[in-house]
Structure 1
Amino acid sequence: MNETIETGKTAAITSYILGIGVFIAMSMNSEDKNAFASFHIRQGLGITLTFISLGLVISNFDSMMISAPMWIFVLVLWSYGITSAIKGETKPVPLLGKYFQKWLSSIS
């Protein structure tokens, strides 16, 4: 188990670089599938998709009162996810992490 975590740690951490990091991590994990990296790739992709979808909706409002909570929410998810990857844990991010694992189960 520790060997799986150590070999997948770089891809797992890379997956939290919003946007492009997910695709880099997917290519890093494409040959030798690593369960630890796959878990964090799904979490990172979920956070990225959440950020994009909330951003598209919230960009219609020109209010800091609406956009600031979105930024804080995404920052909390991202911080939780990358901290979990660095520590070598497979804890889903709060609120949405379990859904990311279920919805993105085909991503490995």
Structure 2
Amino acid sequence: MNEQDVETGKGLAIISYLTIIGTIIAFFMNNDKKNPFTSFHVRQALGLWLTYFILAWVVSWFDSWLATFGFWMFFGVLFIYGFVNAIAGKAQTVPILGDFFQKWFNNIGR
């Protein structure tokens, strides 16, 4: 991944973290270009969103504000981390889960 890839893909990489709709938009807009920087961040954002929805369903069973608060803080930090890396032009995986997302969604953007 070179500097030109980062500069041309930065906009869509940032959009991918905004909402699940942003991830879908970035995915489809990157289908023709196949920018590696955008693809990296789309894989990260998609993994975060899917994990968020699955775990939100599980956490909702507990009816505990402490579990809910911890859940929101955990995903808030991960989304901010990915978003800041996209703005900075870095291709760093999010802590704990990022390497798994790159393996699981390796066909996205190739």
Task: Quickly name the TM-score band, shorter chain normalised.
Answer: over 0.9
Is residue 55 of structure 1 aligned with residue 56 of structure 2? yes
TM-score (norm 2): 0.95
Question: Counterpart amino acid of 2:30?
Answer: N
Question: Counterpart amino acid of 1:101?
Answer: Q
1:27 Cα deviation after fit:
1.4
Partner of 2:33: 32
Write the distance in 2 (CA, Å) between the matches of 1:69 and 1:107: 30
1:18 Cα deviation after fit:
2.4
Question: Counterpart amino acid of 1:13?
Answer: I
In proportion to residue count, which structure has more helix?
Answer: 2
Is residue 80 of structure 1 aligned with residue 89 of structure 2? no
Partner of 2:91: 90
Structure 1's unaligned 5+ residue stretches are none
Partner of 1:5: 6
TM-score (norm 1): 0.97
Which shows bigger deviation, 89-98 or 59-68? Answer: 59-68
Write the distance in 2 (CA, Å) between the matches of 1:104 and 1:77: 18
Write the distance in 2 (CA, Å) between the matches of 1:49 and 1:95: 15
Count of matched residue positions in the alignment of Structure 1 and Structure 2 = 108
Write the distance in 1 (CA, Å) between the matches of 2:65 and 2:37: 37
Write the distance in 2 (CA, Å) between the matches of 1:56 and 1:83: 27
Write the distance in 1 (CA, Å) between the matches of 2:46 and 2:19: 8
Kindly report the root-mean-square deviation, in angstroms, between the aligned alpha carbons of the 2 structures: 0.7
